[in-house]
Amino acid sequence: MAGTAILNEILDGIAPSHRQAFRRDYEAIRQLPGAPTDLQEFLDDFLDHCHRLYAATAGAIWFRGPNGGPLSMKSSVGFERLGLDNGHEHDHLELLRYAMSQNKAFVVKPYSAPARDTDVGNPTDSFVVVAPIEHGGKQLGIVELFLGPTPRRGKTNSERNHYAMWLDHLVRYLCQGVELRFLGSSAPLQPALVNLFAAKAEIEGYKEAIRRSLEVTLNSYAGMSFGSLRNNQTFMRSVHELLEENGLRIACAECGAPSILRCQSAGNSKTGVFLYDHYLETGRTFHGGPSTFPAVKLVAKPPRRRSV
């Protein structure tokens, strides 16, 4: 089932009595891209299920006009109850424009700014989850869900941030449905594309679960040494082989670049030092030098360098 890893993760934070309804709406959203509906029906159905999924009080889908024109509301639910027509339309549109410049969803508290260095804010008394609609490298629009002054779900900062990540996942299905409706409904192309998109989403979920699992395992050895240079090098070879199999690298602690962590002899050290081996614009570079295995952050393996 597509998105199984992500679904199970978020279900852990939902009361058991709500999980069945949550799963039902999520499965309905997964099926929407291939449903025999036109674009407007698809947008309305998507927003309706998201509205229930989040126990939201209101929500809307906005799309940018042709050639980068202004945002236009394409679907809404409960929007008229927000009071934005009482002089707050401009502030709200500024928040949406800010969201268009972001690459992931975020949560804004009532009457608050999304970040310290911004001069835009949420003009309502409701928590709002906002997600940019990005497809093919282009920002197409915005999905926003208002959770109310006292959210029924997402009652803590951690839970609300989790729900922001979840909305990014759901927007993928929105993009699939929009694209398929522009392509047309000729069988068997549409169901085939739906299945391919679903498989891609599931694979991405599995990859992220693997990355998190490996990162937790490796960080359990942070601050440790294996007693000799040979032992440390044997450990690092095994680490590299495992990361290579899963398309991962270790982010350099100094510059953040994807790197291979190696253990090499240095001076009088009997156990060697750990170095981040990577290629920068200046050429092959080694950063680091701790004598024990460092805490690590795993990132995607970069594309192969082209030979000059």
Q: Report the CATH number that the domain containing residue 27 is assigned in CATH.
A: 3.30.450.40
124 and 78 together in one domain? yes
What Cα–Cα distance (Å) separates residue 119 from each residue in 122, 126, 132, 146, 290?
Answer: 11, 19, 19, 20, 42
Q: 63 and 174 share a domain? A: yes
| Residue numbers of the chain with a pLDDT score lower than 50 | 1-3, 185-188, 308
Residue-level pLDDT at 116: 87
Name the residue among 248, 270, 272, 252 with its Cα closest to residue 261.
252
Last residue of a domain, one of 211, 245, 267: 211
Residue 308 is assigned to a structural domain of this protein:
no
The whole-number pLDDT of residue 195 equals: 65
Residue 288 and residue 190 share a domain:
no
Which of 150, 176, 211 corresponds to the end of one domain? 211
Q: What domain count does the chain have?
A: 2
Buried b (16+ CB within 10 A) or exposed e, 17-51: eeeeebeebbebbbebbbeebeeeebbbbbbbbbb
pLDDT at 215: 94
Smallest Cα–Cα separation from 118: which of 91, 79, 149?
91
Domain containing residue 251? 225-300
Are 57 and 96 members of one domain?
Answer: yes
Output the pLDDT for position 185: 46
pLDDT at 181: 79
